[in-house]
A and B are shown apart, each in its own frame.
Chain A
Amino acid sequence: MSEQLDDIQLIEDAGNGDNEAFGILYERYVRKIYNYIYYRTGNINEAEDLTAKVFHRAFRHIETYNQRGVPFSAWLYRIAHNLVANWYRDRSRKKEVALDDQLPSSFHFDFPESSLEKSQESEKMIKAIRRLPPERQQLIILKFVEGLSNTEIGMIMRKSEGAIKSLYHRTLESLRKEIEKIEQPKKNEKIAKGRLS
């Protein structure tokens, strides 16, 4: 709550041209926005580029923020969401890669324990998430990467808490199906190998 009050004061100061106030807001939220964009795009360069755009846009329009009635972080996430949506649209126009199945090359995590199994599980999960519709991807990332509550997610996605709960259950169900689809060919392969040997 105190952070919220702090935000309000900082936004007011930033709106009056106090760059230091905006700097504090930037430091407070830049990593969260970066993470959100990184998990939506799966690409470090795009995450950096779009994060920069989010904060440039926020900086330019900070005076108009007060009238919006949502927390500052929710406002930033909405800007990020719109920019990511534009990025996907531009990419699909260029048809550089098929978006459905493509797991970006930068989505390979270095786990401290260097566990190959864990890395594979992680890639499978990310692949399944990226097959979901954008709204469901957004929900999963906000909930698990950003650790936001249903109420906070609702503010960002312009939905009630109940609607978020219901969407969450539908998302888990579709995620389960996507994971099964990814696992099925491997299972079939194992069965075939078993028959041969």
Chain B
Amino acid sequence: MNEQYSYSVMENSLVSNLIPVQPNPDFIQNLGKRLLGSSNIYIEDRNHSLAFVLISLGLFIGAFIVWLFRKHG
């Protein structure tokens, strides 16, 4: 009974203290504009092909240099 009472007091306190807040209307408006005006702007995943080409090229050049040193060394 006592526990029930304590829960009920706490629930009432939660109801009266957790009041929904009003966000800044400018923020809501600006975000809406940004979202709906951004149909052509997407944050795309990085293009990995360039990184792949560069790493491959680096490895190839490295291997070529090693080969050159071995050949002339």
Whether chains A and B associate is yes
Binding site for B on A (CB under 8 A): 17, 19-20, 22-23, 26-27, 30-31, 34-35, 38-39, 44, 47-48, 51-52, 55-56, 59-60, 109, 121-122, 125-126, 140-141, 144-146, 172, 175-176, 179
User: What per-residue 1/0 map shows which CB atoms of B15-34 lie under 8 Å from chain A?
Assistant: 10111111110011001101
Q: Are the CB atoms of A27 and B15 closer together than 8 Å?
A: no
Bound CA span A140–B7, Å: 13
Binding site for A on B (CB under 8 A): 6-7, 10-11, 13-15, 17-24, 27-28, 31-32, 34-36, 38-39, 42-43
Tally A-B pairs: CB < 8 A. 77
Q: Are the CB atoms of B18 and A22 closer together than 8 Å?
A: no
Q: With A19-B36, A176-B6 in contact, do A35 and B17 touch (Cβ < 8 Å)?
A: no
A-B contacts, 6 listed (Cβ < 8 Å): A23-B32, A23-B36, A30-B28, A35-B23, A39-B18, A48-B24
Q: Which of B11, B17, B28, B39 contacts A126 (CB 8 A)?
A: B17
Q: Which of B6, B7, B11, B31 contacts A51 (CB 8 A)?
A: B31
The residues of B that contact A23 with a CB separation of less than 8 Å are 32, 35-36
